[in-house]
Amino acid sequence: MWDMWKAIERMRALAQELESTTVVGEGCGGKVQIVLSGHQQVRSVKIAPELLNDVATLEQGIAEAFHDARDKLQSLVIERLGGDMPPFFPGFSGGVGIG
């Protein structure tokens, strides 16, 4: 049975933990990297110089890197929360999510 108060406390603890958490997403085989904070803020972007003259590939790499970082962050949150969230919690695929 899902315990709402236990879930709220775990979410508060997780929110504090996420303040100092970062994940790195990669695109174009690692030629584009995006560091995303635990609160889904972009902290940095690294782009290999050879991509600067290929706009289409660069755009694709940025999108890939962002999605990779976001997916890693969602997996981390799901792992940390475990089964304490109700199946109707909005924002995550699979019923649990951060945004």
CA distance 28 to 23: 17
| pTM: predicted TM-score of the whole model, two decimal places | 0.75
pLDDT digits (tens, 9 = 90+) for 22-31: 999 999 999 9
pLDDT digits (tens, 9 = 90+) for 40-65: 999 999 999 999 999 999 999 999 99
Q: Domains along the chain?
A: 21-92 (3.30.1310.10)
